[in-house]
Chains A and B, each alone.
Chain A
Amino acid sequence: MKMLNLTAGALIAATGFSSAAFAQTTLTMWYHGAGNKVESALINQIIDDFNASQSDWKVELESFPQNSYNDSVTAAALAGNLPDILDMDGPIMPNWAWSGYLQPLPIDAAQFKDFLPGTKGIYDGKLYSIGLWDAAVALYARKSTMEELGLRTPTLDKPWSKDEFMAAMKAAKESGKFDAAIDLGMSDKGEWYPYAFLPFLQSFGGDLIDRTDYQSADGVLNGDAALAWGDWWQSMFKNGYAPGTSEDPADHENGFIDGKYAFSWNGNWNAVKTMAKVEDVEFLPAPDFGNGSTIGGGSWQFGISAASKHADGAADFIKFATQDKYLAAFSDAIGLIPATKSAAQMTENYKEGGPLAVFFGLSQAQAKKRPVTPGYVVESKVFQKAAADIADGADVADTLDAAVDQIDADIKRNDGYKTH
């Protein structure tokens, strides 16, 4: 009987050890791509490759629709139900880090030294998130229109000045060939506003908040430069150069393609579709309104939740997913800008001489992140409203003063968004 017990014990021990050696610890992961067939296929491929590449970790994916993703994450954080790995839109990362949803990546930042600046989520001196791609905005134009209107083609080194840009608007309007000179996408009153239009304010010399300490917007959002931006912004609609906030959403997608507008201020995610329909489309850099030519940076990035007990495994996955071959695969499939130059060379569109290579240059040279502060989630909403109100004819100074008051009150209410 004793012998039998010993044998059974040995068997159990042996089975236990062998299963431990082969068992993979499950890592849960959330991703914002539900409903996006191409993106889902790619992310699943990366996960399958990772799970097969080693025996320690097994990543299990749960996909969410992008529109409601942030609400799901916030609710899960409250209920203590966050996954190990999650992705997030760049500008919201500081808020989630400050709220305690995230932990810094246990990965040496030097590993990402070749990544585009917009793909690195650094808050409070620590790397919290890393992206496989960045996005960029450019001025869409037709070569034929540029020639007809006698306009100089701007370059990264020598973008249009404010005068040149306004002369282009005037020429396009006076040609009588278009419904309006430029489509700015005014119907999309979400994150598009700060992403696409804040760079104009920055180029005028203003900003959404004083970035030295992120404690106040006074003087930057309602200073002389910001007032000049507001007057110019309002003039774009008053003079009929751009359709206002009542623009048909369909026109931001198809207006330029259908020839309704001479120019479109649009993202690189629409570039592939536009190239297929407009043979001589060109992607031009943002104008320089006096303080440099700037566009918005920062797209979706991976991070690790503060609740994760397997940060090392999650970090292994993130390192695995940020290989050049996956950056290139994402770029080829969904048209976004790969995070590294070496990955860009592996893609059809972004390699040197490729039709979208200009976007890589734009992102590298001009991308400026939206304010890296937890308060950005409120500030972006305030900016959306102010930009829309000014476009609708509201008094510029009053609107910007009110926006500053709102932003400053929010910062005060949150005790300066100091880190815990």
Chain B
Amino acid sequence: MAAIQSDTHRLRLIVRYLVLILIAVIFIFPLLFMVMSSLKSDHQLLADTSSLRAFLPVGDLSLKNYAGAFERAPVGLFVFNSVFVTGTTVLLSLLVCSMAGFSFVFLHWRGRNVVLSLILATLIVPFETIAIPLLLEVSKLPWIGLNGLEWGWLDSYRVQIIPWIADGLTIFLFVQYFKGLPGELIEAARVEGASWFQIYLRVVMPLSGPVIATAAILKFLVMYNQYLWPLIVVQQETYRPVMVGLQYFFQLSPAWGEIMAYLTLITVPVLAFYLVLQRAFIASIASTGVKG
């Protein structure tokens, strides 16, 4: 009887691992294809696509595509622009949206439910529908910079950052998470005489690791993959992000090897960000909760 149970257990384990391996393969193979193809010549790359060779480091391998990518486009500048715009937006977004969420959950001001409903309603509006009105708006906004008062935000970092700081989804994530926090903590802090800002900073935010990590990852992906918005508001190469930069490689005959090299290079910040946040994510889960 014990032997049968052990066999069933082993079979289940094998099936489970097979399914997991299959899922891992599905996720890893595109990345593997990208990295391997970045090391091959265009002719070999295209010839290999019809077989498993596409995923293997076979044939004449070299770093020529990487050199070609750097020659064709200012890759470093594009990566810097994207990392800067994305990083700044993520930080500001976490700050603004968490404060908004805090206000909706803990500060009992009149009309907050209506305002929250309106903010959530923006989730069903696709960005494409407001892109043109937003473009017209930002092209006429004032700004005080190093050169004094200027009109129009086009061709700048701010035009890529500011419109993206607050969004319905991030606010919603914070609201939902804050609602689940134990009310006793807030009450206790109030009794102790803490101000609302102190409660936000010292009590609520330290307990919000998981939602911060989730919101940061989602925002990071949205921002790093920005294409349409920077395409229409940025005309100068100086401010172009990575996704618009990808178009440099699609000429009449696309340089596939260089495209794969470029994609490999621009994937590095995403992986780095994920790895860093993954640790923070696990750590925050481990330390969350009301300690006895």
Complex contact A63–B232 (CB within 8 A)? no
Complex contact A78–B72 (CB within 8 A)? no
Q: Which residues in B have their C-beta under 8 angstroms from that of A72?
A: 231-232, 235
Q: How far is the CA of A79 from the CA of B72 in the complex (A)?
A: 29
B235 to chain A, nearest CB (A): 6
Q: Which residues in A have their C-beta under 8 angstroms from that of B250?
A: 35, 65-67
Complex contact A37–B72 (CB within 8 A)? yes
- With contacts A68-B244, A79-B135, A269-B252 taken as known, whether A62 is within 8 angstroms of B236 at the C-beta atoms is yes
CB of A213 within 8 A of chain B? Answer: no
Q: Which residues in B have their C-beta under 8 angstroms from that of A78?
A: 132, 135-136
Partner of A79, one of B50, B73, B154, B252: B154
Q: Which residues in B have their C-beta under 8 angstroms from that of A64?
A: 235
A186 to chain B, nearest CB (A): 16
CB of B198 within 8 A of chain A? Answer: no
CB of B29 within 8 A of chain A? Answer: no
Q: Which residues in A have their C-beta under 8 angstroms from that of B249?
A: 35
CB of B7 within 8 A of chain A? Answer: no
Partner of B235, one of A76, A80, A270: A76
Complex contact B139–A253 (CB within 8 A)? no
Complex contact A250–B72 (CB within 8 A)? no
| In the complex, per-residue mask of A255-288: 1 if CB is within 8 Å of any chain B CB, else 0 | 0000000000001011000000000000000000
Q: Which residues in B have their C-beta under 8 angstroms from that of A62?
A: 235-237
A187 to chain B, nearest CB (A): 12
- With contacts A35-B247, A63-B237 taken as known, whether A253 is within 8 angstroms of B136 at the C-beta atoms is no
Which of B152, B154, B232, B236 has the largest number of chain A CB atoms within 10 A? B232
Q: How far is the CA of A72 from the CA of B154 in the complex (A)?
A: 12
CB of A254 within 8 A of chain B? Answer: yes
Complex contact B237–A34 (CB within 8 A)? yes
CB of B43 within 8 A of chain A? Answer: yes
CB of A12 within 8 A of chain B? Answer: no
| In the complex, per-residue mask of B72-100: 1 if CB is within 8 Å of any chain A CB, else 0 | 11000000000000000000000000000
Complex contact A35–B136 (CB within 8 A)? no
CB of A81 within 8 A of chain B? Answer: yes
Q: Which residue of B lies closest to A69 (CB)?
A: B247
CB of A13 within 8 A of chain B? Answer: no
Q: Which residues in B have their C-beta under 8 angstroms from that of A248?
A: 46, 49-50
B61 to chain A, nearest CB (A): 19
Q: Which residues in A have their C-beta under 8 angstroms from that of B135?
A: 75, 78-79
Q: How far is the CA of A337 from the CA of B287 in the complex (A)?
A: 69
CB of A153 within 8 A of chain B? Answer: no
Partner of B46, one of A65, A79, A250: A250
A312 to chain B, nearest CB (A): 24
A274 to chain B, nearest CB (A): 12
CB of A24 within 8 A of chain B? Answer: no
CB of B51 within 8 A of chain A? Answer: no
Q: How far is the CA of A250 from the CA of B231 in the complex (A)?
A: 28
Complex contact A65–B72 (CB within 8 A)? no
Complex contact A81–B136 (CB within 8 A)? no
Complex contact A35–B248 (CB within 8 A)? yes
CB of B60 within 8 A of chain A? Answer: no
Complex contact A36–B235 (CB within 8 A)? no
CB of A71 within 8 A of chain B? Answer: yes
Q: How far is the CA of A62 from the CA of B234 in the complex (A)?
A: 11
Q: Which residues in A have their C-beta under 8 angstroms from that of B237?
A: 34, 62-63
CB of B251 within 8 A of chain A? Answer: yes
- CB contact list, A79-135 vs B, under 8 A: 79-81
Partner of A270, one of B152, B231, B236, B253: B253
CB of B233 within 8 A of chain A? Answer: yes
Q: How far is the CA of A64 from the CA of B240 in the complex (A)?
A: 10
Q: How far is the CA of A80 from the CA of B138 in the complex (A)?
A: 12
Q: Which residues in A have their C-beta under 8 angstroms from that of B253?
A: 253, 269-270
Complex contact B231–A81 (CB within 8 A)? no
Q: How far is the CA of A395 from the CA of B237 in the complex (A)?
A: 47
A69 to chain B, nearest CB (A): 9
Q: How far is the CA of A34 from the CA of B240 in the complex (A)?
A: 12
Q: How far is the CA of A81 from the CA of B247 in the complex (A)?
A: 22
- With contacts A62-B235, A65-B250 taken as known, whether A80 is within 8 angstroms of B139 at the C-beta atoms is yes
Q: Which residues in B have their C-beta under 8 angstroms from that of A81?
A: 139, 152, 154, 235
- CB contact list, A24-49 vs B, under 8 A: 30, 34-37
Q: How far is the CA of A35 from the CA of B248 in the complex (A)?
A: 4
Complex contact B232–A35 (CB within 8 A)? no
| In the complex, per-residue mask of A224-255: 1 if CB is within 8 Å of any chain B CB, else 0 | 00000000000000000000000010100110
Complex contact A66–B46 (CB within 8 A)? no
| In the complex, per-residue mask of B235-276: 1 if CB is within 8 Å of any chain A CB, else 0 | 111000000110111111100000000000000000000000
CB of B71 within 8 A of chain A? Answer: yes
Q: Which residue of A lies closest to B247 (CB)?
A: A65
B76 to chain A, nearest CB (A): 15
Which of A30, A67, A79, A269 has the largest number of chain B CB atoms within 10 A? A79
Q: Which residues in B have their C-beta under 8 angstroms from that of A35?
A: 72-73, 247-251
Q: How far is the CA of A36 from the CA of B247 in the complex (A)?
A: 11
Q: Which residue of B lies closest to A80 (CB)?
A: B139
Partner of B232, one of A36, A37, A75: A75
- With contacts A34-B73, A80-B139, A270-B253 taken as known, whether A75 is within 8 angstroms of B231 at the C-beta atoms is yes
Could you tell me which B residues sit within 8 Å of A by CB distance?
Answer: 43, 46-47, 49-50, 71-73, 132, 135-136, 139, 152, 154, 231-233, 235-237, 244-245, 247-253
With A65-B248, A75-B232, A270-B253 given, name 9 new contacts (CB 8 A).
A34-B73, A35-B248, A36-B251, A67-B247, A67-B250, A68-B247, A72-B231, A75-B135, A81-B139
A-B contact pairs, 18 of them (CB 8 A): A34-B73, A34-B248, A35-B249, A36-B251, A62-B235, A63-B237, A66-B251, A68-B247, A72-B235, A75-B231, A79-B139, A79-B233, A80-B139, A81-B139, A81-B154, A81-B235, A248-B46, A248-B49
The 5 closest A-B pairs by CB, nearest first: A35-B248, A65-B247, A75-B232, A250-B46, A79-B139
